[in-house]
Chains A and B, each alone.
Chain A
Amino acid sequence: MAAPSSRPLPVPDDLTRPYWQAAWEGRLELPRCAACGRWRFPPTPTCDDCGSPAFTWAPVSGRGIVYSFGIVHENFIKGFDPPYVVAQIELAEQPGLYLMANIVDCPPRRVTIGMPVTVTFEQVSDTVRLPQFRPAV
């Protein structure tokens, strides 16, 4: 992928700021329902399951599997250099807890569905580190 500085950068809001702050500090943290314990992502104001608005930010293991992936061959978004892999990661904490990321440190053709992966953090600006995933060793 090309020079990180030219890529689109996230603009944190009240709901997402703790996510990006934790990522900057090298931790993957997600909102977890304070009532029923269910994880959710992306952050939403209420629990997908029980509807409770009460939640806490809590660290996850950063381990998961590739639920599915695509290889982007067309350059639609400035700052990227196809081909590159975009993947839907199913985190170990909960069935159906998904997060989208790139698969790094792995040639695109080596990525497979079900492949175990682990989080890593890629610095893309002076204030942003993106959670990314690489093959688990």
Chain B
Amino acid sequence: MTQPNPKRSAIVGVGYTELVRQSPDGLAALAARAALAAITDAGLTVADIDGYVGAPAATHASARHVDGVDEVSAGLMVHDLGLQPAWAEDLTGFAPVVIERAARALAAGDCRYVVFVRALFNPIGVRYQATDRPLVGGPEQFMLPYGISMAGGRHSLWLRRYMHDFGATREELFTVVANARAAAALNPYAFWRNRPLELEDYLDSRWIYEPMCIFDCDMPVTGAGAMVLTTADRAADRPHRAAYVSAVAPKHPADGTLLRSLGIGRDDLQAAQLYDGYSHFVWYWLEQTGLVGQGEAHTFVHEGRTALHGEFPVNTFGGSLGEGRLHGFGHVREAAMQVMGRAGERQVPSMQNCLVVTGPGYPGLPAPTLLITAR
């Protein structure tokens, strides 16, 4: 394990808005609300915040990329929150990319308290992943002319091949979704709270990319999350127990070596938050981090071992499948809440170390990783 370092980062406050399909509030207002909630949660005021970092990209095919409409830039947030930051930046990538950069800014002394914001918008009146572009270049020239969208197409193919190679079944994949719904029931922010799903309804649901059905996809939502980070030495003065960022590896290879290179085993972790934009990503990340062996994840999950009260809880807040699509921000928030001991009914006992991997699970892509710890 990483030795305690006074300059390593810690999460000291979190803020969230309600996650809904569509909101009458503009995205900038939601992002500001989440940011202010995180700042208050950290026992700070806007005047204390001297760093801002966001990951504004709307990644779906029908996104318009308009600041304040479906994306929220650092410039807009600095203005709307009335920040006077020494450092403000927008980054592209999942939370570990953002947190690594924030950690470096904090360790270098560029700033003392950084607020990190992620806001997602579900457009009204257009199909989320629809595209009608007549001409396509770059990597899309080998995909869209065949009716293959970049987002879902290749993932369904990976899923079919996995099922073929390891004898995995849709009944087993349903366990991922059922676990998500069960944990979401205890998450006040979750879109799918209080909406359990029966196997029969899952099996009868409509296909999106067969063998992937509608319930294998997370729900596009409108909402925002934020967190405040500072250095470990300052974190001790904050009202809540800190959640330390003890390892951050935005580009770690997804080749089963992650735990080994962190110098830990599964027994050193009390839980993991594994990105589940599609349900089978949970299988993928369990195996590609080295938490379980190749081809073992589908039975490991189906046996109930990753359920909230199982021996190795995964996605204790319901994941994106249960909570809604915040592109992995919820996974980091939950890891922080768990190690802070603030997860309420979802609290995992003796919670010390939580692994977070937030990125799409597909061969060749990295495993953006955080190790969030109580000490």
Contacts and interface: CB of A to CB of B under 8 A. Distances in A.
A76 to B, nearest CB: 5
Contacts of A68: 157-158, 160-161, 164
B139 A101 contact: no
Contacts of A130: 145-146
B212 A10 contact: no
Interface in B20-46: none
B134 A8 contact: yes
Interface string A1-35: 10000011111110010000000000000000000
A130 to B, nearest CB: 6
10 closest Cβ contacts across the A-B interface? A70-B156, A10-B141, A68-B161, A78-B132, A71-B210, A73-B207, A11-B137, A80-B147, A8-B144, A68-B157
A113 B156 CA distance: 13
Given A10-B141, A68-B158, A100-B148, A77 B131 contact: yes
A84 B130 CA distance: 16
Given A68-B158, A70-B212, A102 B147 contact: yes
A136 interface: no
Interface residues of A, number: 37
Chain B binding site: helix, strand, loop or mixed by DSSP?
mixed
Given A8-B133, A79-B147, 7 more contacts: A73-B208, A74-B207, A76-B127, A76-B131, A84-B147, A100-B146, A100-B153
B165 to A, nearest CB: 9
A60 interface: no
A57 interface: no
Given A70-B212, A78-B132, A13 B147 contact: no
B135 A11 contact: yes
A128 B134 CA distance: 13
Q: Which of A68, A83, A100 neighbours the largest number of chain B CB atoms within 10 Å of its CB?
A: A68
A130 B147 CA distance: 12
A121 interface: no
A7 B147 CA distance: 8
Contacts of B211: 70
